[in-house]
Structure 1
Amino acid sequence: MVQAEAKVWLGAVRPVPDAVAVVLGWTLSGSGTPLLKNGGFQLGPAESTTIDAPKGWSGRFWARSGCTFDQSGKGNCTTGDCGNVLQCNGAGGTPPVSLAEFTLDSPQDFYDVSLVDGYNMPISIVPSGGSGNCSEVICVSDLNKECPQDLAVAGGNGVTVACKSACLAFNEPQYCCSGEYNNPQVCKPSNYSQVFKKACPTSYSYPYDDATSTFTCTGANYLITFC
C-alpha cells in the first residue's frame, strides 16, 4: 500500500536591508518516528526548502538566530540553540523560542503555533490543498519590541532578541499550569500571557489555550514562514 506524504515548506523572509539568515531546527516525538534532514540547516533571506514528512510524523519546527558554525557544524546560536550543533538530531531548541507544532495523519493533521515556551521570531503556518477547517496561523508581530522588561532576553548589544513566557521566567505553578493549577478550570490567562495573545491571537499563549489555538486539516501541505 502506498502512503502519501505531507510536505512541509520552510521559508525565511526578511525585507532588505534587515535581511539575515536563520538556522532552522526541529525535533520529534514518539518512538520510531524518523528524523527529518538530521534536524537542522541554514536558510538565507528569502530562501525556502521542501521537507517530506511521513504519515504519522509528530514534532516541532523553530528558527534559530544569531548563529555561527564551523565547517564541522559545531557552534552556537543566540536563540533556539540545540546543543551547540547545526544539526539538532532530535534535540529541542533552548527556550524562549517560537514553535510550529505538527501531528500528521491521526487521522487528521493537528497543527499550531506555540508561544508557551516564549518567542524569538515571527512565524506562520499556511495549509494548502487540504480539506476541513485548514485555518492559517499567523504570528507576525514583533513581540521582542513589546516584551515586558522582566521577560526580555537581551543580546550582546543590549537589544531584546527573545521574550520568555511567564512560566519560563518565574517557574510558578499559576503560570506553568502545574501542581494545583494543573486544570483548565483553575489555570487562567495571566497579564503576561495576554501580551502574547494580543500580538498573536491564534497562537498558544499558555498551556490551556486550546480553544483558539489548535487547528486541524486533512491531506494538506504546509508552508511555514519565519519573517
Structure 2
Amino acid sequence: MLTRLLAALFALAFAGAGVPSANAAIDHTVTLVNNTGQTIWVGSTVNADGSRALTNLPMLHNGQSATVTIPETSAPGHWRGTFFARQGCTGTSGANFRCAVGDCGVQAARCVTGEQPASLAEFNFDTRDRLAPWYNVSYVNAFSVPVSISPVNATGPPGSCGTAGCTTNMLPQCNPAYVKYGANGQRINCVNPNRDAQTDYSNTIKSRCPKAYAWSKQDTEPGNQTVFQCANCSGFKVTFHSVA
C-alpha cells in the first residue's frame, strides 16, 4: 500500500526507536477537504500491520470538509494507511453501493476491500518514531483527482513539514490508452500501465507534479521530492482538488 521509500524510512526510524517521539501521546487529526466540484465518498485502507481500519468515513459535497482522528496511540501504537476520493458512487450501502473510481466495497462509510486505482494520500503515524508522521501523495497506481497534503499547526526545522502533492489536473495530459471514462464520456481516471517502471505516464506526472510519487521506485532518483515528515504538528489537511 505505502510506497517503497516510506517502508525504508520506517525501518531507519525504528533503528532509533529508543528515543521517544515528541508526539508520542498525541492522536493527530486529518481534515479532509472536498474541492473537486462533485460529491465524493472518502475511502481509507490500512497496512496489514495491525493498523486499525477507519469506519464512519464521510460523504462530502463540494466545499465540505470533515475531520477524523487517527487512532495511533491505541495498540499497536501506529497507524499506516491511505485516504482517497471515491467518485461516481451509486447504490445502497451494504447492498449494491459501488463507485466508478476508488471503489472499495459495498459499504459507504468504510472500505471492505482494497481500493481500485485512484490518487492516494498516504501516511505513517508512529508513536515510537521521533521523526513521524511521514506522508506523501501517490499517483503510482493512478491519477484520479489532484491531491495535496499540508501540515496543521506545524513547527520544525527548515526542510520539514512541507506540502506534498499539487493542485494540477493531469487527466487532459493522460495517454488515451490509460484513460477510464465516466457515464457521460468524461475522463475520470488515468491508470498507470506499469507502476514499477518509468513510462510516459510517470514522466508526465513528474514533470507537472514533482512532489508526488509517479512510479514505485521514484525515491531512488537523485533529488526526488516524494516523501515528507513533520514531527511537530497537530495533524494534516488533505485536499482533493478539482479536475474541471
Which bin holds the TM-score, normalised by the shorter protein?
Answer: 0.7 to 0.9
2:11 aligned with 1:11? no
Instruction: Call closer, same or farther: CA 1:42–1:73 in 2, change over 3 Å.
Output: farther
Partner of 1:111: 135
2:163 aligned with 1:136? yes
Does the residue aligned with 2:25 lie in a helix, a strand or coil? coil
C-alpha distance after superposition, 1:13-71 (max 9, x if no partner): 14xxxx32111100111433222235x33111111111111332110110011111326
For 2:150 and 2:114, how far apart are their aligned partners in 1? 23
For 2:236 and 2:92, how far apart are their aligned partners in 1? 31
* C-alpha displacement of 1:80: 0.5
C-alpha distance after superposition, 1:132-171 (max 9, x if no partner): 401101321111111111111111222211001121xxxx
For 1:90 and 1:58, how far apart are their aligned partners in 2? 17
* C-alpha displacement of 1:90: 5.1
Does the 8 Å CA contact 2:105/2:113 hold for their aligned counterparts? yes
Partner of 2:67: 50
For 2:175 and 2:69, how far apart are their aligned partners in 1? 38
Partner of 1:69: 91
The letter for the 1-side match of 2:108 is L
2:216 aligned with 1:207? yes
For 1:203 and 1:34, how far apart are their aligned partners in 2? 25
Does the residue aligned with 1:197 lie in a helix, a strand or coil? helix
For 2:218 and 2:84, how far apart are their aligned partners in 1? 20
The letter for the 1-side match of 2:237 is L
For 1:195 and 1:73, how far apart are their aligned partners in 2? 39
Equivalent residue runs for 1:181-196 within 5 Å: 189-196=198-205
Give the TM-score of the pair, scaled to structure 1: 0.82
C-alpha distance after superposition, 1:105-125 (max 9, x if no partner): 333211000000111111110
The alignment-based identity, stated in percent, is 29
For 1:159 and 1:50, how far apart are their aligned partners in 2? 30
The letter for the 2-side match of 1:140 is T
Give the TM-score of the pair, scaled to structure 2: 0.76
1:36 to 54, 60, 63: 54
For 2:238 and 2:104, how far apart are their aligned partners in 1? 20
Instruction: Call closer, same or farther: CA 1:205–1:166 in 2, change over 3 Å.
Output: same
> Please, which runs of 5 or more residues in structure 1 have no aligned partner?
168-174, 178-188
> Please, which runs of 5 or more residues in structure 2 have no aligned partner?
1-23, 73-77
2:226 aligned with 1:218? no
Does the 8 Å CA contact 1:6/1:219 hold for their aligned counterparts? no
